[in-house]
Structure 1
């Protein structure tokens, strides 16, 4: 896996230079990409790791991993445009029409890179279908997220299976499919468990982060806020009134310390943390059972750190 990230970055930069031919589009697209490259490229690295772990050889996987990362970046940009809650990014500072055009270009480029990578046509076609199916599932999950009308933990779980957990599974399955010709169900199962745990961890963070992305201020229905709404006493009904928009932000913005106290006393944070860790331990257990050499299992488990 040495040099994996650098090779994925090279493929992504080369893809933009080849197909974003309008200078302004290329400049802004490259700026969005460079912001993405400050992250660890987890999805692309998972694609490469699973390809190698299941016996895949050759350099074509780096192009496929770049395709996966472009899929993720394009959906991140679109999500931020819809949520209007991440204005500090490069794309958040662009006009929405230009940012959307960049996202659509990257999503299309994702498919092109995958279909032109050095694999048998049948395998690259199957991987492209898998990614298309996951993008469509993520669009369904994002619609549920935008409507923000879920009322139960079961509905929340289905949303993140469609969206964040499914996207992480798609990265792992793309590598597995390109190596073996099959999207192994056991890989999907453990990857979804990791994706669920990661999303729950983000939701715990976002309910405690009191900037403009805070899920309480934004009335977002997540595992912590759903549990909180089910746990409040009669004296705390103002929280339900706020989520039902019977109160406005100005009515509650000075009650941050009280909200934190209520979350602590109700067990909201403890419950959410336990649920998150349960899915993480499921991931560890499922990876332990898969038929792979110990060194590959260790590398897959290390991706969760």
Structure 2
């Protein structure tokens, strides 16, 4: 996160969090987010610039994109409870809740200034719908998975794109729809990468531990009743969490051997091809931003076999 985005975020915090302790808490959350290598603000910038926009409000919109994503990241961590060391997890829960409300107030205020509240609200509602399906175990099939990911992750990339295009007058509706579809493809490709990595983790963030049905897990469950019955037993509840923890390296090894990672790569390639096709449908866009946009949304993804998190289950 670059300095101009940080300055905008601090300005928003100073405007909507006047109480010193709350202000300092929000700044610590932003500092945590700033340490990550993310492209959210850049998505908004590139979209705006390649469409020919020159709005003086661009940096504010790019920062607002980052603030919305930070808010959703915090809520996600509060739900999953799998990132215990992040500042919003280590401070008092009531303080974190107040910080979330303050961020929400800032988002409402900033969207109101730009007249984009309705569109942003609709996108957030769809993302929350996807998150709800994820945390309530509504995903039982690949069709459910792709629908959930399109809502949960795809709409957030749509949001980043919209925050840039909303400041450009006269964007063709067909161009906007193509950008939306491209964003959904990018979200799905990115989520598959995360999910493939997470079944290989040897720590508390392993998706198998939490009995999530992600794409690689759904693939494994198809054949595990014969190849590795313990996986079916764990998901059925006949194998305890403690027993899973004792055998986690076996589960991860089965994930490596099952072919689920290779399957994820194939599906990623299909969505990457679709994203490339959509990009080619766009009219000529301004450079160098169009090239940067393509690098963000149609990158050369490669699912990694060596995941982070080599510690035991906490």
* TM-score past 0.5 threshold: yes
Aligned length: 294
1:121 corresponds to which residue?
none
Q: Which residue in the other structure is 1:230 paired with?
A: 222
Alpha-carbon distance in 1 for matches of 2:90, 2:276: 39
Residue from 283, 295, 306 that aligns with 1:302: 295
* 2: CA distance, partners of 1:148 / 1:63: 37
Aligned to 2:91: 94
Choose from 279, 282, 305 the match for 1:287. 279
255, 259, 269: which is aligned to 1:263?
Answer: 255
Change (3 A) 1:24 1:153: same
1: CA distance between counterparts of 2:37 and 2:168? 23
Higher helix share: 1
Q: How far has the Cα of 1:220 moved from its partner?
A: 1.1
SS in 2 for 1:77: helix
1:139 to 128, 132, 139: 128
Q: Which residue of 1 aligns with 2:57?
A: 60
Structure 2 spans left out of the alignment, 5+ residues: 300-314
Paired residue for 2:169? 180
Question: Are 1:194 and 2:186 counterparts?
Answer: yes
2:31 counterpart residue number: 34
Deviations for 1:181-234, whole angstroms, at most 9, x for unmatched residues?
556100001111111101110111111111111101111111111111112143
Post-superposition offset of 1:248: 0.9
Query: 2:310 is matched with which residue?
Result: none
Contact 2:200 2:255 survives alignment (8 Å): no
- RMSD over aligned Cα atoms: 1.8
Higher relative contact order (CA 8 A, sep 6+): 2
SS class of match (2:219): helix
Task: Provide the rounded CA distance (Å) in 2 between the counterparts of 1:253 and 1:5.
Answer: 40
Give 1:246's match in structure 2, choosing from 229, 238, 244. 238
Q: Distance in 2 between matches of 1:173 and 1:246?
A: 46
The answer to whether the 8 Å contact 1:75/1:103 transfers is no
Deviation at 1:235, TM superposition (A): 5.3
Shift of 1:149: 3.4
- Does the 8 Å CA contact 1:149/1:221 hold for their aligned counterparts? no
Contact 2:158 2:180 in 1 (8 A): yes
Q: Find the partner of 1:212 among 186, 191, 204.
A: 204
